[in-house]
Chain A
Amino acid sequence: MNDKTLISVSDLKKYYNGGSIKALDGISEEIRKGEVVVVIGPSGSGKSTFLRCLNLLEVPTGGHILFNGADITDEKTDINLHRRKMGMVFQHFNLFPHMTILRNMTAAPIKILKRRREEADAQAMALLKRVGLEDRANAYPSQLSGGQKQRIAIVRALCMSPEVMLFDEPTSALDPEMVGEVLEVMKQLANEGMTMIVVTHEMGFAREVGSRVIFMDEGRVVEENTPSAVFDRPQSGRLKSFLAKVL
């Protein structure tokens, strides 16, 4: 593990129903700072489980996850301290419906980082401006379109100044015409050097923005490589048949 490593995963396992379902069956990965890792694979292959284990939304059955060198799977670790630095974006946005957009974004900085409200507001407004939604600051989530909601969800996570962003199929719940605006924000983020782990079915995005593609099947990493190698020269039969279906 060198000093560019941000997350180091070793032999990660997640079993359900007492071991009859092996959602993750021994995953070992190094995520380096500034990398954009795209995770692809068929439905049920364990992509979401992998992502959700990284910030302990799912507690792994076995294995270790080092984040900045600290073992977050250790029971003595205060996971709340580490989660602040790991932003997460969900398929269904999960904005807080009872708060305005601005409060959605500033609740965590104010309550957790003890920022002053004006300071948090200013930071949130600057981020809103970047995604072109500064005029919606005082709207409620139900007043926004899906694409707008997801852009808000991304900047909400950015308000905590995370070191890594985890995306679980961020565009899967969107109408096709809104996918582009969300991918554009993610692309910007990648260009600024944010470390990102992205589960997606958007192969165009994976090829253009990804620095590495991981192909998972049945709880294991079957193949991983640069995007062009994965898409143009797939090695395993399972990846070939997966690509044949999705491309």
Chain B
Amino acid sequence: MEFWPELQKDFYQSFVEGGRWLLYIKGLGTTLLVTLLALILGIALGIIIAVIRAAHDQQALRKVNPVLKILNALCKVYTTVIRGTPMMVQLLIMYFVIFSNTRNQIGVAVLAFGINSGAYASEIIRGGIMSVDPGQMEAGRSLGFGYAGTMRLIIIPQAIKMILPALGNELITLLKETSIVTVIGLRDLTKAAMLIQGKTYQAFMPLIAIALIYLALVMILSWLLGSLERRLRASER
């Protein structure tokens, strides 16, 4: 059995030869960049949609606003379509149909993933907003804050705190899901492993390596979220 020398050769080919480890690092950078930008876009979209939908549902007291009605309908269509179609299909449509003229793969990936996680985040955030005691909105309004001001200063900070675990899960899902950007040719972490596999005909080392990297990232994220949650909670005791 030539097991040990074989393994060493695999390792050398997969990571060292031709400076291949750099490909993993670059791929990791791309994966993190797409995840981070998509997260920001997703949360921004999620907050906007959640507030529109909550404002629409809470307006029974006030006069019915036709603009709000239309916006609410648009938001509903958006979440239905995004949650009702596969992420991969959305990415392909975004790249090959809507933005078929651009080669800016990172931009397209960020847009596709941001729009996708916005739909999921909006439902989470809306749940958070609805779970805040209605007395908080009344207290804010009675002090003279407008609807938007009360939302921004009083309701949303409390909602975010409550939904942090759910948003954290969304972030972790997003990070893992970005691996499908390979279908539009973006060189993320997964693509790096596939490229190296294509050159060395060794599948084991590169694929196990990126699996471990993803796993480590997820564990670090979980830990960060956990300590953030504990800190937020501590501020109220």
Contact = CB atoms under 8 A, between A and B. Distances in A.
Interface of A: 55, 57-59, 75, 80-81, 83-84, 86-88, 90, 92, 94-98, 107-108, 111-112, 140, 142-143, 156-157, 160
Interface string B209-237: 00000000000000000000000000111
6 contacts: A81-B144, A84-B143, A86-B142, A94-B138, A96-B136, A143-B237
Given A59-B61, A87-B142, A98 B237 contact: no
B9 interface: no
A141 to B, nearest CB: 8
B158 interface: yes
A98 B138 contact: no
Given A98-B158, A142-B237, A57 B63 contact: no
Nearest to B136: A94
Contact of A140 (B63, B133, B236): B236
Interface string B98-141: 00000000000000000000000000000000000101101111
Contacts of A156: 143
B145 interface: yes
Contacts of B63: 75
SS of A interface (majority): loop
Contact of A83 (B136, B143, B161, B237): B143
Contact of A90 (B135, B145, B157, B161): B135
Q: Chain B CB within 10 Å — which of A58, A81, A90, A94 has the most? A: A94
Contacts of B199: none
Nearest to B160: A98
Contacts of B158: 96-98
B224 to A, nearest CB: 21
Interface in B143-189: 143-146, 149, 153-154, 157-158, 161
Contacts of B237: 140, 142-143
Contact of A57 (B142, B149, B157): B142
Interface of B: 61-63, 133, 135-136, 138-146, 149, 153-154, 157-158, 161, 235-237
A140 B143 CA distance: 19
B138 A108 contact: no
Contact of B146 (A80, A86, A97): A80
Contacts, number: 69
Contact of A107 (B136, B141, B153, B236): B153
Contacts of B135: 90, 92, 94
A108 B145 contact: yes
Nearest to A90: B135
Contact of B235 (A83, A86, A111, A140): A140
B144 A84 contact: yes
A96 B153 CA distance: 10
Given A84-B143, A90-B138, A111 B153 contact: yes
A6 B153 CA distance: 31
Contacts of A90: 135, 138-139
A112 B145 contact: yes
Contacts of A160: 143-144
Given A90-B138, A96-B154, A142-B236, 17 more contacts: A80-B141, A83-B144, A86-B142, A88-B138, A90-B135, A94-B138, A96-B136, A98-B157, A98-B235, A98-B236, A107-B143, A107-B153, A111-B145, A112-B143, A112-B144, A143-B237, A156-B143
Contacts of A81: 144
Leading 6 A-B pairs by shortest Cβ distance: A84-B144, A94-B139, A88-B142, A94-B135, A108-B143, A83-B144
A12 B2 CA distance: 94
Among B142, B145, B154, chain A packs the most CB atoms within 10 A around the CB of: B142
Contact of A80 (B145, B154, B161): B145
Contacts of B153: 107, 111
B218 to A, nearest CB: 29
Contacts of B143: 83-84, 107-108, 112, 156-157, 160
Given A75-B63, A97-B236, A98-B235, A111 B138 contact: no
